Amino acid sequence: MNMPLIDPFARAITYLRLSVTDRCDFRCVYCMSENMTFLPKRDLLTLEELDRLCSRFIAMGVRKLRITGGEPLVRREIMTFFKAMGRHLENGTLDELTLTTNGSQLEKYAGALYTAGVRRINVSLDTLDEAKFAEVTRWGRLPQVLRGLDAAQAAGLRVKLNAVALKGFNEDELFTLAEFCAQRDMDLTWIEVMPMGDIGNENRIGQYWSLKELRKTLETQYTLTDLSDRTGGPARYVRVEETGQKIGLITPLSHNFCESCNRVRITCTGEIYTCLGQDGKSDLRAPLRASEGNEQLDDAIRAAIGLKPKGHDFDYSRQNVEGQVARHMSHTGG
């Protein structure tokens, strides 16, 4: 039952992204609506169930585990789970335990994360302008996040900033963010905005800033060299020769990366999504709770992997949000 997970297109599944909560202390405009209705506690997997579920995936060949949310660090007692996952790092069955965070709780938890075995983190930060930060996050405060970055680096964590490219919002900060990361020895990745969730008043086509355009702008001031580096995710990297830093580009729209997809996502309720850009899902909570043994759960995991599609259908090329996914990004953790 510990045979590797291989999808219908011969891709080995070695990367699991696990959402531990749908809750967040921000309300970023491209991620969720301002007035969200969150799940009742009874619907969420317990920390013990999350441990068991991750352990089965690790037994089947997952080597990288990324914890997401919502905001993962707002879940009560979450450090208990991180500490428990650290045993897989110690025995060599897991290569990396990491998380994506908005940075709001890093001042409190950075040291504990390092102790649990986390060495790299991704922090979502789209702007260094305090007013614009408040606008895009609705509830967030930039100084709190900047203190979190300081705490993370002081604890020994390698920090990468993830910035969503938003036309008319942070285009003018392209070089500001690059210089900020270069000065602080942080990595930086730009991500194209994806058509997920109820758009409401947010114009996704108007927000869309192609990373092809972004790269051309970078090249007006920098010399960029393509790198072959991979970190188990979808980013393609370039080196900025003038600063020596790496900048990642995640392009699900202008150039998708489906052919090399090695990951699946699980929600905090135990739903497994084998493609971020498709609504197809399978339930792992029922088999997880049906028996203390792993046979039913293992069968359900393999059946879900057997349904993994070849790729997504996101397309803005006709000035229409083709392939839009109804659920909010926060539901599956990005």
Specify whether the CB–CB gap between 168 and 132 falls below 8 A. no
> Is residue 70 marked as binding?
yes
> Is residue 246 marked as binding?
no
> Is residue 265 marked as binding?
yes
Contacts of 32 (CB under 8 A, 6+ apart): 24, 197, 328, 329, 330
Longest CA–CA span in the chain (Å) reads 59
> Is residue 119 marked as binding?
no
> Is residue 31 marked as binding?
yes
> Is residue 239 marked as binding?
no
> Is residue 281 marked as binding?
no
> Is residue 329 marked as binding?
no
> Is residue 124 marked as binding?
yes
Contacts of 265 (CB under 8 A, 6+ apart): 16, 17, 18, 19, 272, 273, 274, 276, 332, 333
> Is residue 181 marked as binding?
no
> Is residue 261 marked as binding?
yes
> Is residue 30 marked as binding?
yes
Please name which of 254, 257, 162 lies closest in space to residue 214, comparing C-alpha atoms: 254
E-state strands within 119-229: 120-124, 158-165, 187-192, 224-226
The distance of Cα 261 from the centroid of its chain, to the nearest Å, equals 14
| Token representation of residue 258 | 């489906």
Specify whether the CB–CB gap between 95 and 78 falls below 8 A. no
Task: Please state, in angstroms and rounded to a whole number, the distance separating the CA atoms of residues 285 and 282.
Answer: 9
Contacts within 8 Å (CB) and 24+ apart, 74-78: 74/21, 74/23, 74/24, 74/25, 74/105, 75/20, 75/21, 75/23, 77/47, 78/20, 78/47
> Is residue 54 marked as binding?
no
Binding residues: 17, 24, 28, 30-31, 66, 70, 100, 124, 160, 194, 258, 261, 263-265, 275
Binding residues for [4Fe-4S] cluster: 24, 28, 31, 258, 261, 275
* Binding-site positions for GTP: 17, 66, 100, 160, 263-265
Q: State the binding site for S-adenosyl-L-methionine.
A: 30, 70, 124, 194
